[in-house]
A and B are shown apart, each in its own frame.
Chain A
Amino acid sequence: MLDLQRTLNQVKSDADWVSLRQVTEKTTHRRVRDEKIDGNSVYFDQGVMVEVLVNGHFGFAGTSDLTESGIKRALGKAVAMARSGSSQKVHNFTTAQRPQAKGIYSSPVIRPIDSLSAKEITDIFVDATKAMKVSDKIISRSAGTMIVETSFHVVNSSGSEVQQNFSIVSTDFSATSGGPGETQTRSDNGGLARCFQVGAEVFDRADILSRSKRIAEESLELLSADNCPDEAMDLLLAPDQMTLQVHESIGHPLEYDRILGDERNYAGWSFVKPEDFGNLQYGSKLMNVTFDPTIADAMASYAFDDSGLKATKEFLIKDGVLVRGLGGLESQARLNLPGVANFRSSSWNRAPIDRMANINLEPGTTKFQDMIASIERGVFMMANKSWSIDDYRNKFQFGCEYAKLIENGKITKTLKNPNYRGTTVKFWNGLKAVSENRETYGSPFCGKGEPNQVIRVGHTTPYCLFSNVEVFGA
């Protein structure tokens, strides 16, 4: 076991500042299909990122060699990186971008994840796929989980010591039914959307079997459903689709590194300009969006980001007006704008960049049934299955698994292949009702960065009603 503080004390460097970030992560995948084992794997990853400040530029070197000589070699490389980069550095950084931090964070776990054996989880999944066998038309039934136990331990030459331990479970259940010339898949709120900081309590057998049966029945129901109509009408989105809507059309465009152009060659730029903060009417007055790393079981709750900045809840959009963006201390210095604690890396082998965390829509005051009653003609869509948005985060098109037609204030029938498209600011300004209740979902796989990184994100959102949206079917 590497003693990080002792190692930091022993390595010598002429850098202005040195940090060691050790990441230890165990990822377990378990999958069952049609009541049979379909894969079990464990990936244990550990390494250290050495980070230094030289001539106003941060240099990074990651290594999986955790011996003292391995860390020393990485330190030498980090200094060389910083020195060579500093000749053409994008900004003159200081240790102000790496504040001293001390603290411990742990996911709120009720039952430790290792209290359930591989066999017990597999048995639940076998029964879940059995519960999906509601008809001969169900052609594929699957149940899976990804369990991540990870710790980030940081020490640095300004006296910081932060230990953050995460227990993260994502589950994925789906049933596919087949009829003449088509198949329809229904999942459990979207692929891996049910991902939380939890323990073994998430594997509640009775609840899983009940959900599994329901999605199989809904998959079957879709086979005989009408196609979503092609017209402009009211659109009611469930929280499991709002998650994607918030992520793509609010989270990403507000990231400061996109606004600064760092991401232009890969994930893209942003339609948001620095002068828009405090001025842009992003959405209707019902729209209140927060960066909130304090939601107990949400995917991206934490105490500090990788720079050592303490994570606190902040409003990004208040009463529809854009007030703050998603940028850590480096981007804040480059833009001279306030930001949030979101400078995060995917693991020990990547440098931190501006990432989303939990980006949430605050609740409204409307009861769900009153939203339905207010709709003369509209579609209620649930669970994301297709997502695409341009590199400025303007023109989007999203598809869902399952929908209901609403006519004269009542749900009248099920619709299949529901999709909708729009442009970000116009769409959010059409927000006309927000429910008082919220649900939390997320994603383990938000991709971005050069070199590429996936990061975990959480989104807690209400049901939302939008006016005059272009919806269409297959």
Chain B
Amino acid sequence: MNFTEITKKSFNTVADYILGNLQAGEEANVNLHAEESVFIRFNGNKVRQNTTVEQRTLSLLLQKDGKTASFSFSITGDETEDKKRADQWLAEARKECALLPEDPYQVPLKNNGVSDSTFKGALLSEESVVAAITAPAAGVDLAGLYCAGPLISANKNSKGQSHWFATENFFMDYSLYLGEKAVKSVYAGTHWNQKEFEANLAQSKNQLSLMDRPKKTLAPGAYRTYLAPGAVAEMASMFSWGALSFSAYKQGNSALQKLADKEKSLSSLFSVRENFAMGLTHRFNGLGELAPETLNVIQKGQLQSFMTSTRSAKEYSVEANGADGGEYPRAMEILPGSLKEQDILKELGTGLYLSNLHYLNWSDRMNARITGMTRYACFWVENGEIVAPIADLRFDESLYDCLGENLLAVTDFQAVDPMVSTYESRAFGGKKVPGMLIKDFKFTL
């Protein structure tokens, strides 16, 4: 059996064992995150470090007498050992429930149905990865990470709910360098195609050749600016940082408070939705609840829905909409507009073309103001012609301006920004975003 098959058998055995051993008055929710990953790190088109990781983490949420305890632990695939661990942590969870006060916003578990999806990919064999990447990149200064392997999320609860989602995917997240000037790309999917990767690499090399001119240093100020999808994706990630969470809004920490309170608005060109039909991640959340396939979040500049978990829904007496406990978008799509790719430089005229942004943070949360840096292939454009790469600039800009009345156009195409986060474990999902043309984007340093 392969990793996915062993893990499925193991999860079903341990989860059923836990759920079958619950006592009267107890309910439980069991989650699994598992992966078998190859990580190969490149610098200078050489291998800096390569690692394989095999991990399976089970999370048990026990509800008893109005109290909630949550325990996570690793399982091995060995039935005897895994049952022993399950016994140990179930006993600990019971002890914790006995000690703690009642949980006022405990969500009663429900049966949200059954799903079972396994997607098989076609990945490079571990021994062939190094040559597949370094050979076509010969002579180029390449840095980045290749990551691949099976990735699994599963859920069961004591009400009979059962979800299984397994996929085999990869990403090659890389940048190419010409001295200190660089371009960035990601090749990601479920079926590695060497020709596609080489085409992706060739496109990056072409873009790098545009960087082979002296850098232009610009004074701080407001510039007409095109944000390519890579830059928009970085900005969109801020919506996951306390901006669209209903509980953050209720606790005074949402950056979109003034939008929600209708003190401010965004451009009618700007619409955001959750769209699980993109197929980037599974619909069930940590409690096994199914999010709607699509959910309008911001429509034509007006806030339609905060991300609202069942816990927040109980606390604030509102409707939940399938959000996970963290209340951030899991399948974000910014809707396209009408600006055609071939018209971008012409419509930009004179200004900045920014491919990527870096290290964003709220500089004034109440006014949805963000600071951050330009990064990678960013150019000065004059009269619709690329003139020179720019020295990095710091921006400090409110969403109410750049996505408000200063948003001039949105492209008619979108790009997928796959999730490449690997903190503790590999993440699911990604975003789909267009490019945006903005007037008077403010740079400060």
Contacts and interface: CB of A to CB of B under 8 A. Distances in A.
A260 B53 contact: no
Q: How large is the interface on A (under 10, 10 to 19, 20 to 34, 35 or more residues)?
A: 35 or more
A262 interface: yes
Contact of A44 (B72, B127, B362, B371): B72
Given A42-B92, A268-B358, A62 B44 contact: no
B72 A41 contact: yes
Q: How large is the interface on B (under 10, 10 to 19, 20 to 34, 35 or more residues)?
A: 35 or more
Contacts of B46: 88-90
B100 A118 contact: yes
Contact of B49 (A40, A58, A261): A58
B263 A61 contact: no
A57 B263 CA distance: 59
B363 A397 contact: yes
B41 interface: yes
Interface string B10-33: 000000000000000000000000
Interface in B342-383: 358-364, 366-367, 369, 371-373, 375
A37 B101 contact: yes
B140 to A, nearest CB: 13
A395 B373 CA distance: 9
Nearest to B392: A390
Contacts, number: 252
Interface string A360-397: 00000000000000000000000000111111101101
B276 to A, nearest CB: 25
A313 interface: no
A185 interface: yes
Contacts of B321: none
Interface in B392-426: 392, 394, 396, 421-424
Contact of A42 (B72, B105, B257): B72
A432 to B, nearest CB: 22
Contact of B175 (A87, A265, A394, A451): A265
B55 A62 contact: yes
Given A37-B100, A84-B130, A262 B71 contact: no
Contact of A399 (B251, B359, B363): B363
A388 B372 contact: yes
A9 B100 CA distance: 45
A77 B52 contact: yes
Contacts of B145: 265-266, 450-451
Given A176-B251, A388-B373, A84 B76 contact: no
A391 B177 CA distance: 14
A456 B57 CA distance: 22
A178 B96 CA distance: 35
A443 interface: no
Given A41-B70, A84-B129, A399-B363, A60 B102 contact: no
A83 B41 CA distance: 15
B335 interface: no
Given A61-B54, A62-B53, A261-B177, 11 more contacts: A41-B71, A44-B74, A81-B50, A85-B49, A85-B130, A122-B101, A177-B252, A181-B258, A262-B43, A346-B424, A397-B394
Interface of A: 33, 36-37, 39-47, 57-67, 70, 74, 77-78, 80-90, 117-119, 122, 126, 139-140, 176-178, 181-183, 185, 260-262, 264-266, 268-269, 346-347, 349-351, 353, 386-392, 394-395, 397, 399, 417, 419, 421, 423, 447, 450-454, 474
Interface of B: 37, 39-41, 43-57, 68-78, 81, 89, 92, 96, 99-105, 126-127, 129-131, 134, 143-145, 147, 173-175, 177, 180, 182, 184, 251-253, 257-258, 263, 358-364, 366-367, 369, 371-373, 375, 392, 394, 396, 421-424, 444-445
